[in-house]
């Protein structure tokens, strides 16, 4: 792929104008750098922030590890003003609640550990903003994701991992429509996080030293359990209480107040006084039993995946690199098609395979697809 400045010149030669890019500005340092870099490279840049969540609804300090709160919107506007670019605020609260919050709550109450960032990307950033991009007659949509658009194995634009292995966010991008990929820009994908901050400081952007958003933005530091309890009626939560049992003996270890407090592999906060180290192995939805046991039972080789989506052709039986959680190196697995989706056969056992999380596929550094881990 050509460098961005060369792309701008080629576009200008072909169409007689600069390429126009809509930048999703969350009010953080990464998206601020993305907008500034595109201005530097000669793009006609437009900024847009999605206001997705009313932080007054819950005990979360906005601007402190959040995303797209009113303070974040103000920061994004300040950066846009500094860069001299048009700026729009899009009220997406209703769509965010329907597409992200409600599935998040539903998944936890069904014994899963959801991945709301993927839904946010699927239904807002790379759906709602794509439509806004077209409405504003922009040629590209840019975000502050740590990812790269490079020539794939077939020569067409494809998503590749970023230069910063620790910050790489391609794990959250597997649901993007392949037809949209040529219209995407990830301006900071070739940079490491410290360099992004240095760049923003040099440019005098107010977000240069701003704290990164961590975890799930709308949960903040209140924790999943408290957030869920703030959104779900006590009657529904009470119906999700049950017993903690020891695997494989079935010994009752004690009661619990709701399956939403547990995730596969969890070893702390179990509410037990047992002297051995025990881990959550499984959540049984039939009677809300949480099964705990020794760590050896956490490992498995076969993983079932539903609703697979592909950005590139994958052959049945092909061996790919697969990540089953965000901050994990990929492991080799053979991908088999089934009547309900896919079965992944890992070459080495994987720890704490968790329903509700994603299994994301890579061919070397190229993102080729993914799906949802199921029970």
Q: For the chain, which domains are there? A: 19-144+187-202 (3.40.50.620), 239-293 (2.30.30.280), 299-373 (2.40.30.10)
Q: Is residue 67 among the annotated active site residues? A: no
Catalytic residue among 67, 68, 92, 120: 120
pLDDT at residue 338, as a whole number? 97
pLDDT at residue 223, as a whole number? 83
pLDDT at residue 121, as a whole number? 93
Nearest to 184 by CA among 232, 130, 226, 146: 130
- Name the stretches of the chain with pLDDT < 70: 1-4, 54-69, 214
Catalytic residue among 67, 68, 200, 217: 217
Q: DSSP labels for 192-254?
A: -HHHHHHHHHHTT-TTTTPPPP-S-TTTTTS-HHHHHHHHS-HHHHHTT-EEEEETTT--EEE
pLDDT at residue 67, as a whole number? 57
pLDDT at residue 65, as a whole number? 52
Q: Is residue 92 among the annotated active site residues? A: no
Distances 337 to 34, 177, 314, 344 between C-alpha atoms, Å: 38, 21, 10, 9
Digit-coded pLDDT (tens) for 128-161: 999 999 999 999 999 999 999 999 988 999 999 9
Cβ neighbourhood burial of 74 (10 Å; 0-12, 13-18, 19+): middle
């Amino acid at each position: 792929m050509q460098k961005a400045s060369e792309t701008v010149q080629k576009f200008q030669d072909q169409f007689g104008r600069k390429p126009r890019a809509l930048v999703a500005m969350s009010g953080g340092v990464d998206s601020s750098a993305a907008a500034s870099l595109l201005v530097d490279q000669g793009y006609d840049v437009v900024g847009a922030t999605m206001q997705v969540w009313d932080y007054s609804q819950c005990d979360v300090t906005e601007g402190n590890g959040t995303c797209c709160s009113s303070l974040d919107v103000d920061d994004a506007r300040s950066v846009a003003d500094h860069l001299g670019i048009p700026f729009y605020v899009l009220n997406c609260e209703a769509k965010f609640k329907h597409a992200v919050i409600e599935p998040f709550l539903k998944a936890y109450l069904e014994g899963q550990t959801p991945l709301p960032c993927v839904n946010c990307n699927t239904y807002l950033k790379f759906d709602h903003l794509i439509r806004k991009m077209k409405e504003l007659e922009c040629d590209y949509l840019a975000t502050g994701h740590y990812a790269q658009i490079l020539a794939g194995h077939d020569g067409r634009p494809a998503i590749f991992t970023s230069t910063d292995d620790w910050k790489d966010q391609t794990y959250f991008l597997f649901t993007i429509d392949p037809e949209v990929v040529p219209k995407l820009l990830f301006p900071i994908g070739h940079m490491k996080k410290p360099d992004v901050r240095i760049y923003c400081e040099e440019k005098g952007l107010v977000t240069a030293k701003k704290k990164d958003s961590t975890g799930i933005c709308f949960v903040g530091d209140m924790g999943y359990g408290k957030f869920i309890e703030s959104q779900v009626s006590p009657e529904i939560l009470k119906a999700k209480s049950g017993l903690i049992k020891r695997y494989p003996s079935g010994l009752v270890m004690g009661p619990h107040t709701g399956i939403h407090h547990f995730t596969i592999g969890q070893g702390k906060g179990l509410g037990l006084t047992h002297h051995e180290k025990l881990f959550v192995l499984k959540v049984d939805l039939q009677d809300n039993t949480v099964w705990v046991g020794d760590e050896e039972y956490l490992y498995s080789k076969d993983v079932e995946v539903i609703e697979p989506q592909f950005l590139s052709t994958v052959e049945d039986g092909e061996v790919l690199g697969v990540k089953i959680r965000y901050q994990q190196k990929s492991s080799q697995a053979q991908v088999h098609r089934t009547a309900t989706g896919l079965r992944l056969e890992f070459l080495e056992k994987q720890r704490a395979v968790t329903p509700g999380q994603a299994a994301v596929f890579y061919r070397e550094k190229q993102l080729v697809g993914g799906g949802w881990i199921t029970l």
